[in-house]
Amino acid sequence: MSYVVLILGMAVITCLIRAAVFVLGERVVFPPLVRTALEFVPVTVLTAIIVPMAVAPHGGGAELTWRNPQLVGAVAACGVSALTRRPLLTIAFGLAVFFVWQGLLAR
Amino acid sequence: MSTSPTWLKELANGARDTIPMMVGAAPFGVIFGTLVTSGPLHPWHGQLMSLTVFAGSAQFIALGLLAGHASLIVVWATTFVVNLRHLLYSATLAPYVARLSPRWRWTLAALLTDEVFAVTYNHYRLAPPGAIGPHYFLGSGLAMYTNWQIWTLAGLLFGAAFPHLQSLGLDFAMVATFIAIVVPQLVALRYIAAAVAAGALAWLCHDWPYKLGLLVAVAGGVAVGVVLSRPHEQLAATGSE
């Protein structure tokens, strides 16, 4: 697979979506159902990516155990984010827990 | 200062008002660049992606998908789905660009990210459509674009300087980043239910080939969210009548 083709394809798709309404103008109208559906896209896409990465970081079966640093770090990040809603604090704390946990398990 | 033309001032104002967003995006650019160096892509592919795609979340997701050996079509389909939200942004801003030339409209559209939308809409909505020229929008977009290129490059250089980072499990940075974006959006039961459905489906279908399970998970999660939204809409509709 050529990564350049992949990247340029992504660029074309992204640009066409962004430009569609600007270029076509008032002819584009969104039914309420489509508007509602679009609201849920960011939350569902990101969650669908996070869950397999945290639950099965090695691609095999579920590692639902405290010995899985990805899962422990993800739970910690969720907690900080829910409490503070601050993105950078969430990332920093999640990463810290992940690396410390991984280090402790490796000993 | 008073001799500088209005359009230049507008351009500068757009850029100035975008500074907080630029600061917020900087760490994401660095993380993106660093992740590129730990994956199958060549560093210049990472810069090419930032230069041409210019959509943070789609770029992150593409990296995750490529690490999981996703097919070309799945990466493109996911890019499409993830960026669909831009339709809402452009629909909201469309009245303010309606009288511009096609070249202007294509240029501004290409620069329309989440952050640029937030800044420009906050400015243009204060005046009737057409009252404010396109330079404020352009200034905000160019500032964000330049910022994204610089921090991507910084991440690429950082990742190249510390090649052992990948063995540490750096892809967790992406998990933490996405959690930081998702959790604050879970403001109502219907969002939580949609996320739970998407997460559960993603887990059940995670060993499907080419990451096709991701698209199933998104479709299922969105469906749950829409079903739970119907009563709200009906209430809103009857309330406004």
- Above pLDDT 90, what percent of chain B? 50
Given this model, what pLDDT does residue B168 score? 65
Task: Look at residues B163, B99, B112 and name the one whose alpha carbon lies nearest to residue B141.
Answer: B112
Rounded mean pLDDT, B40-64: 93
For residue range B73-98, what is the model confidence (pLDDT) as tens digits? 999 999 998 888 888 788 889 889 98
Task: List helix spans (H) across chain A.
Answer: 3-24, 32-39, 41-55, 69-84, 87-106
For residue range B167-187, what is the model confidence (pLDDT) as tens digits? 666 678 878 888 988 899 899
For residue range A52-106, what is the model confidence (pLDDT) as tens digits? 889 988 777 888 889 999 999 999 999 999 999 988 899 899 999 999 999 898 8
For residue range A8-23, what is the model confidence (pLDDT) as tens digits? 999 999 999 999 999 9
Q: Which two tokens stand for residue A27?
A: 């002819």
* CA atoms of B81 and B218, how far apart (whole Å): 9
Contacts of B62 in chain A (CB under 8 A): 6, 10
Q: How confident is the model at residue B137 (pLDDT cuts 50, 70, 90)?
A: very high
Give how far B7 is from chain A: nearest CA, Å.
21
* CA atoms of A94 and B93, how far apart (whole Å): 36
Task: Look at residues A28, A3, A85, A81 and name the one whose alpha carbon lies nearest to residue B84.
Answer: A28
For residue range B188-237, what is the model confidence (pLDDT) as tens digits? 999 999 999 999 999 998 877 666 788 899 999 999 999 999 765 544 54
Asked if A36 lies within 8 A of B24 by C-beta distance, the reply is no
Residue B32, classified by CB atoms within 10 Å of its CB into exposed (0-12), middle (13-18) or buried (19+), is: buried
Q: How confident is the model at residue B20 (pLDDT cuts 50, 70, 90)?
A: confident
What number of residues does chain B have?
241
Task: Look at residues B222, B135, B54 and name the one whose alpha carbon lies nearest to residue A18.
Answer: B54
CA dihedral B33, B213, A45, A59 (to 10 degrees): -40
**Chain B CA closest to residue A9:** B76
Q: Which two tokens stand for residue A16?
A: 């066409």
Given this model, what pLDDT does residue B237 score? 46
Given this model, what pLDDT does residue B241 score? 31
B173 and A CB contact within 8 Å:
yes
B236 and A CB contact within 8 Å:
no
Q: Of chain A residues 1-30, which have a CB less than 8 A from chain B?
A: 1, 3-11, 13-15, 17-23, 25-26, 28, 30
ipTM of the complex: 0.87
Task: Look at residues A94, A76, A99 and name the one whose alpha carbon lies nearest to residue B174.
Answer: A94
B182 and A CB contact within 8 Å:
yes
pTM of full prediction above 0.80: no
* CA atoms of B86 and B113, how far apart (whole Å): 7
